[in-house]
Every structure is written in C-alpha cells, then in structure tokens.
C-alpha cells in the first residue's frame, strides 16, 4: 500500500443532520441542499455520477443535472452512447452528488425514463451552438481513428448548418431518473457521519430511516 495515499485524511465538522431538519419530501430537501451548494460557490454543483449496469457489469461517469421537478432528475445525452445502451437494457440507475465544500453527499436510486421529444428539443434549442454541432459530430462511445477525424466532421456539420438553426439530432435527448431511494449524507467528526435515507412506500409517501455510518 502507498502510505502517502493511506495517510490522506480529512475530518468533517461543519454541520450535523437531524431528522427534524429534513423536509418531508426528499425532492424538496434535495433542492434546499442544491441551492445551498450553488450559494456556497461549489464548482459545477450540478455534476453527478451516473451509474448504470449492463450484463451484470457496472459503469459510471459524470453527467450534468439539467432539470429537477416533482417527478425526478433530468439530464441529456446521446441515446446511442454506452450509457444510453446500458439504460435501454436495464432502467435501474443511481446518481451521486458530492459537495466537498459543504461536506455533503446525496445518493439517489431509481428508474430512468426518456423525457418527451418536446422537452428534449426545448433544452437543445437553448444549448450553445457549438454544443449543438457537437451533438451531431459525436458518435459517442464509438472508436474513432484520431482527433483529426472529429475536427473534419465538425467542419462538415458547421458548413451543413451555416445560416440555419441546428436541429436536434434524433439520437440525442433527455432522461429523467424517478427516485425510489434518496440518502442524505452529512460528514461528521471521527467518521461518525449522519446518514438519513428516504424510501418510497407509496405514490407520494416516503419513510425516513437513520443509517449507521
């Protein structure tokens, strides 16, 4: 073992988390914590780890939260990507947020569904033009020969759409994770962290339990 790595330690001591502090709706509680992360200046507070499983093998990558409403957490990507294929095969996924500056983590488990074409197009329309072009250029997760290949495809699509709005590619759109379990984690001294988890027990009902750290 590399003892330099093993010796890295950080003692969490900013805040605690008690049952009485929680909103009864975990999505509203998440919004409270998310807003605090933004106000605290957390860099890319909407960055989240998306974990998928395909053929019994887990896979994880960072994506960006782009919408939160009463039904769940939304992000957008290439439907034909590795994660898109994973979610087509297995719609059970997990999301993880970590806001180091606030010593907080949120873990979400649930079912993923595609957003409507209208919602996907609405978000695509407000993306920077370069990102819109990039959605056409990238055959996400596919092997390509080199960087030049990408640059040449980029120029091709820039020429194709010059003077016109860039339409949403049919292979690009949104997903929404509908949560079934949400855990709020607050770092505490001596690794005795606070962990409060919401489990869905009905259409609009949740039960809360405290977990051992």
**Beta-carbon count within 10 A of 201 CB:** 10
Pairing of strands 104-114, 67-68: unpaired
Was 9 annotated as part of a binding site? no
Was 192 annotated as part of a binding site? yes
Q: What is the DSSP letter of 188?
A: -
Was 129 annotated as part of a binding site? no
* Angstrom distance (rounded) from CA 72 to CA 179: 6
**Beta-carbon count within 10 A of 212 CB:** 6
Closest among 72, 154, 169 to 120, alpha carbons compared: 169
Residue 75 sits at the vertex; the CA angle it makes with 40 and 81, to the nearest 5 degrees, is 130
Predicted pLDDT at 126: 97
* Angstrom distance (rounded) from CA 190 to CA 188: 7
* Angstrom distance (rounded) from CA 19 to CA 13: 18
Q: Rounded to two decimals, what is the model's pTM?
A: 0.93
Predicted pLDDT at 1: 54
Predicted pLDDT at 185: 98
Predicted pLDDT at 202: 85
Residue numbers of the chain with a pLDDT score lower than 70: 1-2
Please answer whether residues 29 and 208 qualify as being in contact, where contact means their C-beta atoms are separated by less than 8 angstroms. no
* Residue in 107, 129, 147, 191 annotated catalytic: 191
Q: Is 155 a catalytic residue?
A: no
H-type alpha helices, the chain:
3-6, 26-39, 82-89, 117-125, 129-137, 147-160
Contacts of 85 (CB under 8 A, 6+ apart): 54
Predicted pLDDT at 52: 98
Token code pair at residue 69: 């409403």
Residue 23 sits at the vertex; the CA angle it makes with 18 and 24, to the nearest 5 degrees, is 105
DSSP string, 82-116: HHHHHHHH--EEEEEEEEGGGTEEEEEEEEEEEPP
Domains of the chain: 12-126+170-210 (2.30.110.10)
Was 193 annotated as part of a binding site? yes
């Amino acid at each position: 073992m590399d003892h330099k790595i093993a010796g890295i330690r950080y003692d969490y001591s900013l805040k605690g988390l008690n049952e009485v502090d929680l909103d009864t709706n975990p999505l509203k509680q998440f919004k409270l914590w998310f807003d605090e992360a933004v106000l605290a200046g957390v860099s890319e507070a909407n960055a989240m780890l998306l974990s998928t499983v395909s053929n019994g093998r887990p896979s994880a990558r960072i994506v960006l939260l782009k919408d939160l409403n009463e039904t769940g957490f939304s992000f957008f990507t290439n439907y034909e990507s590795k994660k898109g294929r994973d979610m087509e095969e297995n719609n059970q996924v997990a999301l993880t947020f970590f806001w180091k500056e606030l010593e907080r983590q949120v873990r979400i488990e649930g079912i993923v569904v595609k957003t409507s074409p209208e919602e996907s197009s609405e978000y695509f329309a407000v993306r920077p033009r370069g990102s819109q072009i990039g959605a056409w250029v990238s055959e996400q997760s596919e092997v390509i020969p080199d960087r030049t290949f990408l640059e040449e495809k980029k120029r091709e699509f820039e020429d194709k759409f010059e003077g016109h709005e860039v339409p949403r590619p049919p292979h690009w759109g949104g997903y929404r994770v509908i949560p079934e379990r949400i855990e709020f984690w607050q770092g505490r001294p001596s690794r005795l962290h606070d962990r409060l988890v919401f489990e869905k027990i009905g259409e609009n009902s949740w039960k809360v339990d405290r977990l051992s750290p």
